[in-house]
Structure formats: C-alpha cells, structure tokens
Amino acid sequence: MSSGVAPTGANTLDVTVVLPCYNEQDHVMQEIERITAAMDASGFSYELLVIDDKSTDGTLGVLQAALPDYPHMRLMPFRTNGGSGTARRIGTREAHGRIVVWTDADMTYPNERIPEFVRYLEDNPGVDQVVGARTTEEGTHKILRVPAKWMIRKVAERLSSTKIPDLNSGLRAFRRDVSLPYLRLLPPGFSCVTTITMSFLSNQHPVDYLPIDYAKRAGSSKFHFVKDAYRYILQVLRMVMYFNPIKVLMPLALTLLGLSLIKGIIDVIRYHFGITTNAVLLFISGLLIFTLALLADLIVRSRGDT
C-alpha cells in the first residue's frame, strides 16, 4: 500500500472519504481536487482514501504521481479487481475517521457538498447515516432503469416499513462504529449501497436524506441493467430475511393458510365433507412456511449481532 501522510492509529480523524476508482484516469484528479478543496475549507480533519480497483488503464499511475501534492490522500491499490462493494468494505474497515463518506470518482455526485453531509451528522447525534437523495436520473438505460429502481425501492420500503427517497445512492456519510457489524454483509458489486441502507434501517439506526443533483457520468458506465437490477432485488430480500425474516415469510404463510381454509370450506360444501388434494397441499405449504418463519425469527433474535 502506498500512502501520503497517513494518520497514526484508528479513529484519529473526523472523516475518511472512501473513493473507489476503476478506469477513471481522465477525470479522477478533478474529483480529488474537488474533494480536497471542500474538505480543506471545512475545518474537519480528514483523509482521502483512494482505492484503485486494479484499473486496466493509467489510473494507478495518475494517482501515484499525485500523492506528493496531496498530503491528506492515502492510496490503496488492489492486486485483483474486487468490485466497488469490496473497495468500500475494505476502505471502511481501514478508515481512520469517525465518520466515513462513500462517493464515486465518475463526476456524477456533488462531492463539494461532502462537508455538508459530515456536518449534518455532527449536528444530529441521533442520526447514524445521511444519504444523498438524487432528484434526477442520468444513468444509462434510463427508460428501463427508472421504473425498475422505483419498483425495487417500493419493495424495500414495504419490507423495511420506512420511506426511502433513494435506495442506492453512491453518496452517503455514516458513523464508522455503527457500520462495523454490517461490513461482512456487503456484496462485492453495486448493491453494497443498498445493503448498507437496509442494514441500518433493519436495525433501527436512523437514516436521513439530503436532496442532491446528479450529473451525467464521465467515462463509461460499469452498470449492467439486468444483472445489477437482479442483484439489487436479491440483496433487498436477503437483508430483510437476515434481519427480519418474519416480515417476508409470515404474509406468505398466512395467505396460503387462508387460501387452504377457503378451499377446504368450498370442498366440504361441494364434495359432501370431502377435502381435495389442493386444499391439503395449500395447508401443508402454509404450515411449513409458518414454522420456518418462526424458526428463522428465533435464530435472528438469538444471534446477538443485531
């Protein structure tokens, strides 16, 4: 690991800005300059932890050349490509700041507002995470991406019983100590931002939102619509199953049991107290899922890490 002037010991700084980079050679320095200027003027002690995720262009060389000019910058080059989730997970674990900020290096997020997010947490000790809620959608596959993200967000809101203005924003600040138990849950890809949101919400850690503008990205997008949308949905369900499985399983169990009761009554009337196989299968399926929901909830409550 190469570094500039690195802090001595963990949690000695106010803020760590984690900046994953993958093939961002043409604009990464613009982001570093923007973040550095904002943080220098903020009055917060900070480090800029830049993680090169095994870029195949000249990103690493650009970053290494910049180190002498940016004393608050710490460079962590990966030997293999791990994905943005891996970079954020390791960056958060290795952070020296009490507050960790996640953002991207693709010029989409208003990184000059990072001090505002940090100040929000400082001024609101009851809030554990603040997320930049995008007011526009500038990503690729916009005609498909907007309704898909809306649907996934509504599923997440239903499962978490919380209104979520932006489920997968890449700009957020949170308290490092609160996030540590959930780092092992972060997947390697883009859905890591969904995971950290759902982890906090599922464990009653307050999450607030600040509206932000979202610009068209520089360079080429790494987002793959079908694959990443599928991962987002699975990750939302996985998080709720991990923290509150009864909310997912019990409605299905009660629905099947209710249908079996209705079907049984119809069968008794129609077949002179005879019960069809369909009614029995509905009842057994509902009973099995009902039992599984109770067992899963018992495991969650006895796990001791929530």
pLDDT at 10 over 60: no
Per-residue pLDDT at 285 exceeds 90: yes
Bigger pLDDT: 191 vs 148: 191
What is the pLDDT of the chain when averaged over all its residues? 87
Closest-CA residue to 84 (of 21, 41, 42): 21
What values do phi and psi take at 162, rounded to 5? Answer: -140, 140
- Mean pLDDT of the region 142-159: 73
pLDDT band at 121 (very low <50, low <70, confident <90, very high): very high
Query: Residue 4: its pLDDT value, please?
Result: 45
CB 67 within 8 A of CB 4: yes
For the chain, domain boundaries: 13-243, 245-303
The CATH class, in words, for 13-243 is: alpha beta
Distances (CA, A) of 90 to 41, 226, 242: 27, 27, 22
pLDDT of residue 139: 54
Which pLDDT score, from 0 to 100, does residue 28 have? 96
Write the pLDDT tens digit of every residue in 14-67.
Answer: 999 999 999 999 999 999 999 999 999 999 999 999 999 999 999 999 999 999
Which is nearest to 162 in space by CA: 267, 243, 280? Answer: 243
Helix axes of 192-202 and 142-160: crossing angle, nearest 10 degrees: 20
* Position with higher pLDDT, 190 vs 225: 190
CA distances from 196 to 171, 240, 287, 299, 302 (A): 12, 12, 33, 21, 22
Question: Residue 5: is its pLDDT beyond 60?
Answer: no
Q: Is the pLDDT of residue 140 over 70?
A: no
Residue 143 pLDDT class (50, 70, 90 cuts): low
| Contact (Cβ atoms closer than 8 angstroms) between residue 193 and residue 179 | no
Pairing mode, strands 129-134 and 207-212: parallel
Does residue 82 have a pLDDT over 70?
Answer: yes
In the prediction, which pLDDT does 213 show? 93
265 pLDDT exceeds 70? yes
pLDDT in tens, 232-258: 677 677 767 777 788 889 999 999 999
CB atoms under 10 Å from CB of 291, counted, come to 12
Contact indicator for 83, 49 with CB cutoff of 8 Å: no
Q: Cα–Cα distance between 177 and 171 in angstroms, integer?
A: 18
Please tell me the least confidently modeled range out of 193-197, 225-229, 257-261, 300-304.
225-229
Is pTM, for the whole model, over 0.85?
A: no
